[in-house]
Structure formats: structure tokens, C-alpha cells
Amino acid sequence: MRLVTGQGYWSPLVWLALAAGVAFFGWLFWRLGRRTYKAGTDQDAPFLSGEAAPERAHVGGQHLYWGFLQGLRPTLEALRVFHSGFLGDYVTWTVVVVAVALLVVMLT
């Protein structure tokens, strides 16, 4: 079976053979891996820079995103000016952006 398009042809058998080849090489790569892993030991524990984790450790969200927020601080401060908290403003912006996007799509 062959589907001829303006850009070439599409054959499901070629794609099936390609998927089988990728699966085979993935399996082969997995088989060549190390066999030293032991489940239920310290190898299952997360690596926390070599330190033992406290029993009931909890990492808050403000700590998790700290670097992300620091890197984007100028952008976030600029966007904070536009934040009103009023849902109608966000709906209006969404309608305007969708209308502009549709206009661009229809004109191109």
C-alpha cells in the first residue's frame, strides 16, 4: 500500500518496520545495561547531594520554584502591572487575542 502525496509517499509498512527497529535497538540497549541494581536497598532512595534525608522532610513550593522566579523576576514584575484580579479583564484579553489570531490566519 502506498499513499502518494505532493511531498512524497507514505507507506505504513515502512513506518511499522521503523518502529520495530527502534523498539529492537531500545531493547538491545536495555539488555547491555549494568545488572548491579538491587531493589529494596539504598539504591532506591533519592539522591539529595549525598546527605541523608530527614524522616519527614517537606519541600515547599516556594523553594521548588525559587530559581525559576528569580530568573523571570523582571518579566513577572512587568506583568504584575496588568494584573487586576477582575475576571472580565482576562476574558476581554482572551477574546481580543483570539480575534487577532483568527484575523491573521484568515488573511494569510
pLDDT in tens, 21-55: 999 999 999 999 888 888 888 888 777 777 777 77
The verdict on residue 91 lying in a domain is no
Q: What is the mean pLDDT of residues 4-33?
A: 86
pLDDT at 61: 67
pTM above 0.85, yes or no: no
pLDDT at 47: 74
Q: What is the dihedral of CA 102, 104, 106, 108, to 10 degrees?
A: -150
Range of the domain at 28: 1-34
Q: Give, rounded to a whole angstrom, the gap between the first and last alpha carbons of the chain.
A: 35
**pLDDT band at residue 102, thresholds of 50, 70 and 90?**
very high
The verdict on residue 67 lying in a domain is no
CA separation (Å) from 57 to 5, 64, 66, 72, 103? 58, 13, 18, 28, 52
The verdict on residue 2 lying in a domain is yes
For the chain, the domain total comes to: 1
pLDDT at 8: 65
The verdict on residue 41 lying in a domain is no
**Mean pLDDT (the chain, rounded):** 85
The verdict on residue 108 lying in a domain is no
Q: Return the beta strands (E) in 1-108 as ranges.
A: 3-5, 8-10
